[in-house]
């Protein structure tokens, strides 16, 4: 199958992506809104290209750069719907995939690459590469993406908390008794969105500063990207900025995306309380789940991570994989042999990451 590779700045690229994404449902991280904001925010040297089959049945964005492992092993790498540069990939897309027939697109790629990195791909969306002779697929990392089934919440006469473990249920109820009645404030326009976003940034920065670390928004590029996304998309209903309050006191702020019935929790800023029984994260997410269930959405997606609160608040989970596809290369065969020897000598997993 023939393939076109289109410069991201070519108007045909965005138009082609919009058309195919409409026919191949994806997550918000692959939506035209996210992708077009991403492309508009990237510097020239990190700009990906659109790879699309001639029949327009499959497409993906491909970043490209040289990577080096072990200080000596070089590889011409391409990256699925990411740039390959850590700074710009800190936006951390999940539920990643090739739109359309992924195996056909990979088979049609020009042969000027050694490895294809596929980060945070849904287990069910992994392309079947069995027919590609000599290609090897490695799982570099895997995680889970916990979620709440909002249909199940609506179907439960006893409500959301009844679907959770007794310990979590008791913690949320105790926190609610201490705090009192909660109110939800949603951003309805750009001014209210930036107001809630601003408070979220302050709370987020304070939490991470107390831990001696920088928060997610410390990089100016990252913060500008999200400010651009919020201001351009708040009117569409895709951005859900939520402030949870008890009277005049903010408990926390949530930054979610809403797309095709799925609400994706992206970031938060939470207030600090001296009383450890007041759990602002539990309170905010429980309120958000109940709100979004009442709004008719299907899933409240907590996104990837094994943190305790995500697992405690979820009713299910999806598997995410970070994959690396290698074309037949002698150096990779040597690397694999060395890894097998090391495993035999030192039992345990060998972490392998691009340099």
According to the model, what pLDDT value does residue 348 have?
Answer: 55
Does the reported pTM lie above 0.85?
yes
According to the model, what pLDDT value does residue 337 have?
Answer: 66
CA separation for the pair 104, 57 (Å, rounded): 9
The tokens describing 206, both together, are 């304070």
pLDDT, mean of residues 83-89: 96
According to the model, what pLDDT value does residue 69 have?
Answer: 76
Q: How confident is the model at residue 327 (pLDDT cuts 50, 70, 90)?
A: confident
Q: How confident is the model at residue 324 (pLDDT cuts 50, 70, 90)?
A: very high
98 CB burial (10 A radius; 0-12, 13-18, 19+) = buried
Task: Please write the tens of the pLDDT for every residue from 18-53.
Answer: 999 999 889 999 999 999 999 999 999 999 999 999
Instruction: Classify domain 146-318 at the CATH superfamily level.
Output: Gcn5-related N-acetyltransferase (GNAT) (3.40.630.30)
Of 203, 256, 217, 215, nearest in space to 233 by CA = 256
CA separation for the pair 156, 170 (Å, rounded): 18
Task: Please write the tens of the pLDDT for every residue from 198-241.
Answer: 999 999 999 999 889 888 999 999 999 999 999 999 999 999 99
According to the model, what pLDDT value does residue 240 have?
Answer: 98
**How many other C-beta atoms lie within 10 A of the C-beta of residue 224?**
12
Task: Give the angle 332-336-342 at the CA atoms, nearest 5°.
Answer: 145
Cβ neighbours for 3, distance < 8 A, ≥ 6 positions apart: 51, 52, 53, 54, 105, 108, 109, 110
Q: How is the chain split into domains, by residue range?
A: 3-135+327-345, 146-318
Of 331, 250, 240, 246, nearest in space to 289 by CA = 240
Task: Give the angle 36-95-14 at the CA atoms, nearest 5°.
Answer: 20
**Strand, helix or coil for residue 278:** coil
Q: How far apart are the first and last CA of the chain?
A: 33
């Amino acid at each position: 199958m023939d393939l076109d590779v289109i410069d991201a700045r070519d108007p045909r690229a965005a138009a082609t992506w919009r058309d195919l994404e409409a026919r191949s449902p994806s997550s918000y991280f692959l939506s035209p809104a996210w992708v077009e904001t991403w492309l508009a925010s990237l510097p020239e040297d990190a700009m990906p290209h659109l790879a699309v089959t001639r029949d327009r049945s499959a497409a993906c964005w491909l970043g490209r750069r040289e990577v080096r492992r072990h200080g000596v092993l070089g590889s011409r790498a391409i990256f699925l719907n990411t740039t390959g540069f850590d700074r710009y990939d800190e936006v951390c897309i999940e539920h990643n995939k090739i739109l359309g027939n992924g195996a056909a697109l990979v088979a049609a790629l020009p042969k000027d690459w050694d490895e294809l990195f596929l980060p945070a791909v849904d287990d069910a969306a992994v392309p079947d590469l069995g027919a590609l002779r000599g290609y090897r697929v490695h799982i570099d990392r895997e995680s889970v993406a916990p979620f709440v089934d909002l249909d199940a919440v609506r179907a439960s006469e006893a409500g959301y908390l009844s679907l959770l473990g007794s310990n979590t249920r008791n913690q949320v109820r105790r926190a609610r008794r201490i705090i009192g009645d909660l109110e939800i404030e949603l951003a309805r326009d750009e001014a209210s969105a930036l107001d809630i976003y601003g408070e979220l940034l302050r709370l987020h920065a304070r939490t991470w500063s107390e831990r001696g670390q920088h928060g997610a928004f410390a990089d100016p590029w990252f913060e500008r990207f999200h400010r651009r996304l919020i201001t351009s998309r708040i009117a569409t209903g895709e951005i859900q900025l939520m402030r949870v309050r008890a009277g005049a006191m903010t408990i926390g702020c949530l930054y979610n995306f809403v797309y095709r019935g799925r609400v994706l929790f992206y970031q938060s800023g939470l207030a600090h309380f001296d009383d450890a029984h007041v759990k602002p994260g539990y309170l905010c997410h429980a309120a958000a789940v109940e709100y979004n269930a009442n709004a008719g959405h299907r899933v409240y997606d907590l996104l990837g991570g094994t943190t305790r609160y995500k697992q405690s608040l979820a009713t299910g989970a999806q598997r995410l994989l970070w994959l690396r596809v290698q074309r037949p290369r002698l150096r990779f065969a040597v690397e694999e042999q060395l890894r097998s020897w090391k495993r035999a000598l030192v039992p345990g997993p060998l972490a392998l990451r691009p340099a």
